[in-house]
Amino acid sequence: MNAPASSPSHRFALAGETLEARPTGALVWPARGWLVVSDLHLGKSERLARRGGALLPPYETEETVARLAAEVEAVRPEAVICLGDSFDDLEVGAALPAAATERLSALAAGRRWIWIAGNHDAGPPELPGEHRAELRAGALVFRHEAGALEDGTGEVSGHWHPKARLVARGRRVSRPCFVVSGARAILPAFGAYTGGLDARAAPLARLAPEGTALLTGRRVVAAPLAALGR
């Protein structure tokens, strides 16, 4: 796995393990060579159109897969973990465009690829990789939605699409963010068109009453959750 001498990423500790939050919203576990992403929501525009919702430009699958491919190229991971809601629903997973299927299959070639089940999907049956409800490795558990924490265990999850607002250089900035609190790390959504929930909103505040928001963008910016605007 590549390890650049200087990086706009941000390293933090979780249950004694060092993890790296990347500006894209991906997470790296350097000791294992793992790349972790959450909430790709591939096919969201198709799902909305099929169900009579808003008509969005149908390019988010291509954009999200391209962003994922760029992360795989940059990090060169030994394994990729997708933390659920990789597809916007099961029908999307079965009707993924051929180009996206081929590119995802090529990215999975030669490395371990794990699809964690989400609340929108149970994992794409036509793509290579392992399918898990959750994954435990060392002191860490990887799952879609934050759950009960065991003593000595760290949890990496997604689901909530956290975002944060703060004032920087006189400007109000809003970005997707990681939420790191105690033994818990909640990843931002990696997919295009995914939206987000304020990191200080009640559902997230119950899971992470205090801690740090790691805002994505050109570089990761760390800010105490208590200092965020709403």
What pLDDT does residue 1 have?
61
The predicted model scores a pTM of: 0.89
Strands 34-37 and 79-82: parallel
Q: Which residues face 81 on adjacent strands?
A: 36, 114
pLDDT in tens, 136-170: 999 999 999 999 999 999 999 999 999 999 877 77
State the helix-helix crossing angle for 98-108 and 60-75, rounded to 10 degrees: 10
Going by the DSSP 8-state scheme, the letter that residue 183 receives in this structure is T
Q: Confidence class of residue 56 from pLDDT cuts 50, 70 and 90?
A: low
Q: Confidence class of residue 3 from pLDDT cuts 50, 70 and 90?
A: very low
Nearest of 226, 176, 219, 195 to residue 11 by alpha carbon: 219
Q: Which amino acid is at 139?
A: A
The yes-or-no verdict on residue 227 having pLDDT over 60 is: yes
The yes-or-no verdict on residue 50 having pLDDT over 90 is: no
Q: Confidence class of residue 58 from pLDDT cuts 50, 70 and 90?
A: low
What pLDDT does residue 5 have?
43
* CB 116 within 8 Å of CB 144: yes
The yes-or-no verdict on residue 57 having pLDDT over 70 is: no
CB-based contacts of 80: which residues, under 8 Å, 6+ apart? 34, 35, 36, 37, 72, 107, 108, 111, 112, 113, 114
Say what percent of the chain tops pLDDT 70.
83
Q: What is the mean pLDDT of residues 2-30?
A: 88
Average pLDDT over the chain, rounded to an integer: 87
Say what percent of the chain tops pLDDT 90.
66
Q: Count CB atoms within 10 A of the CB of residue 99.
A: 11
pLDDT in tens, 173-192: 889 999 999 999 999 999 98
Task: List domains and CATH numbers for the chain.
Answer: 10-227 (3.60.21)
pLDDT in tens, 93-141: 556 778 888 999 999 999 999 999 987 666 556 788 999 999 999 999 9
Q: Confidence class of residue 49 from pLDDT cuts 50, 70 and 90?
A: very low
Helical H segments across the chain, by residue range: 44-50, 60-75, 90-94, 98-108, 202-207
